[in-house]
Structure 1
């Protein structure tokens, strides 16, 4: 996007596009499957989870809208979390493992990017926790579409 002669890079571009996000998710996913606290939420895992989460994050960070266009969008994400009853301890472990995976996958370490990533992770995991405890549609988080995150 260009504003007043200055080019502002999207978060998607800053992480290296889909390839950078895929590397992040592929680094993170085996960790949650092996983690005793998170394993109950993920079980044995899903062969498509890395690709689907990569598509979701790509959309969140300003990339292509594959998650919405081809994978069911936010309603699919709501359904995936429904009834999981995610605890605060699980939420925090998810964030910690994701940030460690960002380091290990070689994502940018600049403060501006890491602040945006952490802000999104806090928001996204709070939405997941709330929706995982919802007993009806009225209990769902008001965010009902894939959020678009920026600097």
Structure 2
């Protein structure tokens, strides 16, 4: 049952990213609805299994330490990516409001992806297999499948 839960949630994500998004025929309400749904299903399943936010990796007691680690690294990598884009001539200056919208989207999607990958997929698979390696390999495969249509991610 645990593996099935993980695979079904991952399959829904893969179907959406491989079929619905590339078609550009999805009504505007579908994306936000799917986003909320794909968050709620793992949360409901986690609660059903007795997992709370802490078990899924959602904590605030270490938020300051985590931000002190992540923010400088992210800023350095952002500068590196921008410089590489400029050097390759592939940097396309966009309207500031679009840049802010995209940055905001990634600031939301990053933690959500981390929650789904580590807090749900890996946790369910680790519980099912009892070992980290097969759980990590399958979780990585599922994560890669979800990103296959968008190689840069």
Shorter chain as denominator, the TM-score bin is under 0.3
Q: Which has the higher contact order (CA 8 A, sep 6+)?
A: 2
Bigger helix fraction: 2
Report the TM-score, using the length of structure 2 for normalisation.
0.27
Report the TM-score, using the length of structure 1 for normalisation.
0.28
